[in-house]
Chain A
Amino acid sequence: MNNTAAVNDKMSRYLKMAAGAAASGTPVVCWFEECLKDSVPLVGGKCSSLGELINAGVRVPPGFALTTEGYRRFMADAGIDREIQSMVTGIDAQDLDALEKVSMAIREMIEAQPFSTEIEDLVAENYRRLSVRSCMPAVPVAVRSSATAEDLAGASFAGQQDTYLWVRGADDVLHHMRRCISSLYTGRAIAYRANHGYYDEQMAISVGVQKMANSFTAGVMFTIHPTNGDRSVIVIDSNYGFGESVVSGEVTPDNFVVNKVTLEILERTISQKDIYYTVDQKTQKPRAIEVPLERQKVQSLLDDEITELAWMGKQIEKHYGQPMDIEWAVDKDLPFGGNIFILQARPETVWSQKKQQTVAKPGASAMDHILAGILAGKRLK
């Protein structure tokens, strides 16, 4: 065992002790790979699904989570529960201005609170190890909130919790963790809880810290046709840079329809892509920049990447047993074959919630089907 390793080992034992010191015995931080899909109460939906994916053998950028236990201890240490409670109580959920004002005040208050030294150490050490694993100093990460309550993860709150891209350094990671925590108190979130009778004490949030893919291309993928519900296809939207431009709808992405069974590309629509998100090398901050003219109408994913991506989508769907909504990225620093990463996967909600309708008349014989088919005639596109 070399010197560094020995130090690491010692350090890790110390940290385990510290983590275990919590009265509940629940960890404050944990690696994604230690999570599974039933880890939602501990690490929220996003992080548990990433853990599930990693354990299913899917290529996911590594990372760790500040657990809900970490969140609770942060809030308990800060001792601001009561104050927040008094600010929220009796608020008029219809009064948007008031909501926004209260939200700002609460968020500022939360973001000003320090983490305990213990939590800071745990987070910093995991971040350091993530950097070592990634073979780069102060590895750029995405810091995302990971909600626990199903309602919060549902459609009405999609996109409400924050995501911070290209965060570097332990201090910045801690800072953005606080911002994620404070996102529980956006105006809309406060109003939603007021309207639905949720108490703030019932809430918990986890924060995921994930190595950022230095994406050349990124986007989303549905393992069902989002417009006609065809389960035999995978539909991919892609643009250059980080996937944010696609997720937010800021550009019309390239669109590919891939046969799920054979992985052949059935349709490709190449759009004019004006902007993309990438990191500004000078400021080390992500920003939207204009796509160079000669690349605007060029297919943003290679055919081989499309096929590989669709194959990954198919495996993920198989693992979950239902159509999925997936975020992905193609890393520009890695060679083809190992450069495609899954950043997020969640069950598709629109078609999956529709009542399944049969095409065939139930109980009919083959002859009945043939007659019905002949009578209907054939209409082609």
Chain B
Amino acid sequence: MEFPSPHEVETIPGTEGWKRMYPYYYQFTTDDPKRKQYEEQAFWFYDGLHYPEPIYPFDTIWDEAWYLGLSQFNNRLFHVPPSRGIDHRILNGRVYISAVPVTEPEEIGSRVPNFMERAGYYYQNWDTLEAKWKVKMEGIIRELAELPLSRLPDLEDLSVVTEGVGESKGYHLLKAYDDLIDLGIKCWQYHFEFLNIAMAANVVFIEFVQKLFPSIPLQRITQMVAGIDVILYRADDELKNLAKKAIELGVEQAVTSSREWTQVEAALKASPKGQEWLAALEAARYPWFYISNGTGWSHKDRCWNDDLNIPLTGIVTYIEKIRLGEKIDRPTEEVRVERDRITAEYRDLIETDDDRKAFDELLGTARLVFPYMENHNFYVEHWFHSVFWGKMREVAAIMKEHGLINEIDDIFLLRRDEIKQALWDLVTGWATGVTPRGTTVWPPEIAWRKGVMEKFYEWSAPPSIGIAPEVITDPFAIVLWGVTNSSISNWSEVQGNEDTDSITELKGFAGSPGAVEGRARVCLSTSEISLLENGEILVSRTTAPSWAPAFTKINACITDVGGVMSHAAINCREYGMPAVVGTGHGTKIIKTGMMLRVDGTTGVVTIVR
């Protein structure tokens, strides 16, 4: 199957020069024949899972962080025998990635002993190491939160003299920025400490069960592994508790009086009961409301703590449901019982004792690693990132004050090394009392980049470029991005079809079983969740934990990207509604109001035209 060659994808008119917005090593190359050939023969797919939108120059930081993190742990730490890492490029603002395999059988063999020793050590000491990880992680989040960022004074405080500090706020700003970036990269070192081998254990279990039961749906395997008390549900659970608490205290009128948090807060402050409820909210929001509206990967993803209107909408929805006598609690006991039942039934169907023993062992390992696979996401992408974006905006405020940027969020249109330069420009200008040169350099450059970003948004990114291999073997690509032979061929089918109005069927992954019909609602961001009406079918690029309130309204969910372990799939299974994930082009082809039939058992979406 052929997709566009990476070197032949055309630059969008009006964006010429866009490459300077990203690091040079992210460019597809034509001047280096060797690298060009490598790039041509690789298979690159669009990482829409992490970047449903074009990536901003600063936001490349997380891409670089995992570019390094994932690959180093695979290739330099655990020596995963057949797999090196994942290579990255940026094309027209979109991140494309490609798995790099180890191809020589001798080399694969020579990596085996190291892998057995090192990964084996982690599996054997998982709980101890994971406990250590939590301490490390909470430590750097604290460090990040406490990172001092202060305005540059006209005159340094007298204490700098009397205490013999010998350093200026200008220097501190440079250092704080370095520390900020360093903490970000470090956090992502920890992110991958367990992830690769956790995925490996998970994928191997999946494969093993598929060999035992060739017809078993993938979602049934993940159901056997899935944890019940997962941190990512915690934020949503807190909303439910606050809804119940509001009714218990009799303040639900005040809570539902407005969709505007400031007004609700004012109303609640007026009564002791209201104050009690506010105290409960305060207790819940740190850290649980550090939950991002998106994937947490973009500076645009704000967390609930940034905008309490979002959790308020959720709380109000739950109060309404309680008033109508509906059950709002997750049916955790039913989910647990069903999980145990299906596990036991499949186990009973295994014919030989050896296989049953292997099943037990692999299931045990898969369950051991599962909590990490889920929970790291809250610590890193939600909690850490949310605090991090806040800190970056503090840096931006200082830059704005000195005229290097016009708006706070303009900072994200600069590369992180450009920001460092701009800060040098700023502090030297501050020190000498001369206007920084950047005040005339950056604002026009940022204005131009904004125009480029707009054009990037309009570009319809191909799901993949390069040459598709006969089979996809990279476990990460399959589980996380939902890249498989069948999804690739589905993508190419739709891609070849210019007339999107004539398409009546979309194929994706069977994310959660069941079939329903209903009206589509295309939501490209959390701000559009409030438009959802009961019984609609949510169509989105992807979903994140902060989308949780949406799941109480919808009857089914369709996403462009994601595999059966994606958030949308996990959530729909939890709520017992159908999901088709990883359709590739759902948001492009489906329009709000269309009548859809979603079959989450077969992974087919039919547009009733």
- A contact residues around B213 at 8 Å (CB): 230-233
Whether B371 is near chain A, meaning CB under 8 Å from some CB there, is no
In the complex, how many angstroms separate the beta carbon of B479 from the nearest chain A beta carbon?
A: 9
Whether B201 is near chain A, meaning CB under 8 Å from some CB there, is yes
Whether B207 is near chain A, meaning CB under 8 Å from some CB there, is yes
Given A364-B358, A379-B473, A370 and B204 contact (CB-CB distance below 8 Å): yes
In the complex, how many angstroms separate the beta carbon of B363 from the nearest chain A beta carbon?
A: 10
Whether B354 is near chain A, meaning CB under 8 Å from some CB there, is yes
A362–B352 CA distance with the chains assembled, in angstroms: 10
Whether A369 is near chain B, meaning CB under 8 Å from some CB there, is yes
Contact of B601 (CB < 8 Å), options: A265, A367, A379, A380: A265
Whether B484 is near chain A, meaning CB under 8 Å from some CB there, is yes
Whether A76 is near chain B, meaning CB under 8 Å from some CB there, is no
Whether A155 is near chain B, meaning CB under 8 Å from some CB there, is no
Contact between A366 and B346 (Cβ–Cβ < 8 Å)? no
Given A260-B349, A374-B200, A378-B472, A359 and B361 contact (CB-CB distance below 8 Å): no
- A contact residues around B474 at 8 Å (CB): 378
A341–B478 CA distance with the chains assembled, in angstroms: 43
Given A359-B358, A371-B81, A379-B473, A262 and B119 contact (CB-CB distance below 8 Å): no
Whether A356 is near chain B, meaning CB under 8 Å from some CB there, is yes
Whether B67 is near chain A, meaning CB under 8 Å from some CB there, is no
Whether A302 is near chain B, meaning CB under 8 Å from some CB there, is no
Given A232-B349, A233-B215, A261 and B342 contact (CB-CB distance below 8 Å): yes
In the complex, how many angstroms separate the beta carbon of A296 from the nearest chain B beta carbon?
A: 22
A148–B123 CA distance with the chains assembled, in angstroms: 57
Please encode chain A, from 346 to 375, with 1 for each CB lying within 8 Å of some chain B CB and 0 for all others.
000000000011111111111101111111
Whether B284 is near chain A, meaning CB under 8 Å from some CB there, is no
- B contact residues around A369 at 8 Å (CB): 204, 208, 358, 361-362
Whether A377 is near chain B, meaning CB under 8 Å from some CB there, is yes
Contact between B217 and A374 (Cβ–Cβ < 8 Å)? no
Using CB atoms, name the residue of chain B closest to A356: B351
Whether B330 is near chain A, meaning CB under 8 Å from some CB there, is no
A324–B349 CA distance with the chains assembled, in angstroms: 14
Given A358-B354, A375-B81, A378-B472, A230 and B214 contact (CB-CB distance below 8 Å): yes
Whether A228 is near chain B, meaning CB under 8 Å from some CB there, is yes
- B contact residues around A361 at 8 Å (CB): 354, 358
- B contact residues around A334 at 8 Å (CB): none
Contact between B346 and A261 (Cβ–Cβ < 8 Å)? yes
Indicate the size class of the contact surface on chain B: 35 or more
Contact between B475 and A378 (Cβ–Cβ < 8 Å)? yes
A230–B214 CA distance with the chains assembled, in angstroms: 6
Contact between B214 and A228 (Cβ–Cβ < 8 Å)? yes
A367–B120 CA distance with the chains assembled, in angstroms: 6
Main secondary structure of the interface of A (DSSP, over half): loop
- B contact residues around A262 at 8 Å (CB): 220, 342, 513
In the complex, how many angstroms separate the beta carbon of B335 from the nearest chain A beta carbon?
A: 13
Whether A129 is near chain B, meaning CB under 8 Å from some CB there, is no
Whether A172 is near chain B, meaning CB under 8 Å from some CB there, is no
- B contact residues around A225 at 8 Å (CB): 214-215
Given A231-B351, A367-B120, A380-B484, A259 and B220 contact (CB-CB distance below 8 Å): yes
Using CB atoms, name the residue of chain A closest to B117: A367
- A contact residues around B203 at 8 Å (CB): 373-374, 378
Whether B372 is near chain A, meaning CB under 8 Å from some CB there, is no
Whether A108 is near chain B, meaning CB under 8 Å from some CB there, is no
Contact between B81 and A264 (Cβ–Cβ < 8 Å)? no
Contact between B204 and A261 (Cβ–Cβ < 8 Å)? no
A371–B120 CA distance with the chains assembled, in angstroms: 10
Given A373-B207, A375-B82, A228 and B108 contact (CB-CB distance below 8 Å): no
Using CB atoms, name the residue of chain A closest to B600: A264
Contact between A232 and B216 (Cβ–Cβ < 8 Å)? yes
- Centre residue among A259, A358, A374 by max chain B CB count within 10 A: A374
Whether A298 is near chain B, meaning CB under 8 Å from some CB there, is no
Whether A266 is near chain B, meaning CB under 8 Å from some CB there, is yes
Using CB atoms, name the residue of chain A closest to B211: A359
Please encode chain B, from 203 to 233, with 1 for each CB lying within 8 Å of some chain A CB and 0 for all others.
1100110011111110010000000000000
- B contact residues around A82 at 8 Å (CB): none
Contact between B601 and A266 (Cβ–Cβ < 8 Å)? yes
- Centre residue among B108, B200, B354, B362 by max chain A CB count within 10 A: B354
Whether A257 is near chain B, meaning CB under 8 Å from some CB there, is yes
Contact between A380 and B119 (Cβ–Cβ < 8 Å)? no
A375–B112 CA distance with the chains assembled, in angstroms: 9
Contact between B217 and A359 (Cβ–Cβ < 8 Å)? no
Whether A282 is near chain B, meaning CB under 8 Å from some CB there, is no
In the complex, how many angstroms separate the beta carbon of B26 from the nearest chain A beta carbon?
A: 28
Please encode chain B, from 556 to 573, with 1 for each CB lying within 8 Å of some chain A CB and 0 for all others.
000000000000000000
A359–B358 CA distance with the chains assembled, in angstroms: 9
Contact of A367 (CB < 8 Å), options: B116, B208, B217, B354: B116
Contact between B216 and A370 (Cβ–Cβ < 8 Å)? no
Contact between A366 and B362 (Cβ–Cβ < 8 Å)? yes
Given A265-B601, A360-B358, A370 and B217 contact (CB-CB distance below 8 Å): no
Contact between A365 and B361 (Cβ–Cβ < 8 Å)? yes
CB neighbors of B among A198-256 (8 A): 225, 228, 230-233
Contact between A231 and B349 (Cβ–Cβ < 8 Å)? yes
Please encode chain B, from 597 to 609, with 1 for each CB lying within 8 Å of some chain A CB and 0 for all others.
0000110000000
- Centre residue among A228, A262, A381 by max chain B CB count within 10 A: A262
CB neighbors of A among B75-121 (8 A): 80-83, 108, 112, 115-116, 119-120
In the complex, how many angstroms separate the beta carbon of A311 from the nearest chain B beta carbon?
A: 13
In the complex, how many angstroms separate the beta carbon of B560 from the nearest chain A beta carbon?
A: 20
Given A232-B215, A380-B471, A380-B472, A359 and B355 contact (CB-CB distance below 8 Å): yes
Whether A376 is near chain B, meaning CB under 8 Å from some CB there, is yes
- B contact residues around A261 at 8 Å (CB): 220, 342, 345-346, 349
- A contact residues around B81 at 8 Å (CB): 371, 374-375
A360–B357 CA distance with the chains assembled, in angstroms: 9
Given A358-B352, A358-B355, A376 and B215 contact (CB-CB distance below 8 Å): no
- Centre residue among A232, A260, A371 by max chain B CB count within 10 A: A232
- A contact residues around B352 at 8 Å (CB): 356-358
> Can you name 30 A-B pairs with beta carbons within 8 Å?
A232-B212, A232-B215, A232-B216, A259-B216, A259-B220, A261-B346, A262-B513, A265-B601, A267-B602, A356-B351, A358-B355, A359-B212, A359-B358, A360-B355, A360-B358, A366-B361, A367-B116, A367-B119, A367-B120, A369-B208, A369-B362, A370-B119, A370-B201, A373-B204, A373-B208, A374-B80, A374-B115, A378-B473, A380-B484, A380-B485
**Known A370-B119, A374-B80, A375-B81; 8 more pairs at CB < 8 Å:** A230-B216, A364-B358, A366-B365, A371-B116, A374-B82, A377-B473, A378-B473, A380-B486
Q: Which 7 A-B pairs have the closest CB atoms?
A: A373-B204, A360-B358, A377-B473, A366-B361, A232-B213, A362-B354, A380-B484
A residues with a Cβ closer than 8 A to B are: 225, 228, 230-233, 257, 259-262, 264-267, 356-367, 369-381
B residues with a Cβ closer than 8 A to A are: 80-83, 108, 112, 115-116, 119-120, 123, 200-201, 203-204, 207-208, 211-217, 220, 342, 345-346, 349, 351-352, 354-355, 357-359, 361-362, 364-365, 471-475, 478, 484-486, 513, 601-602
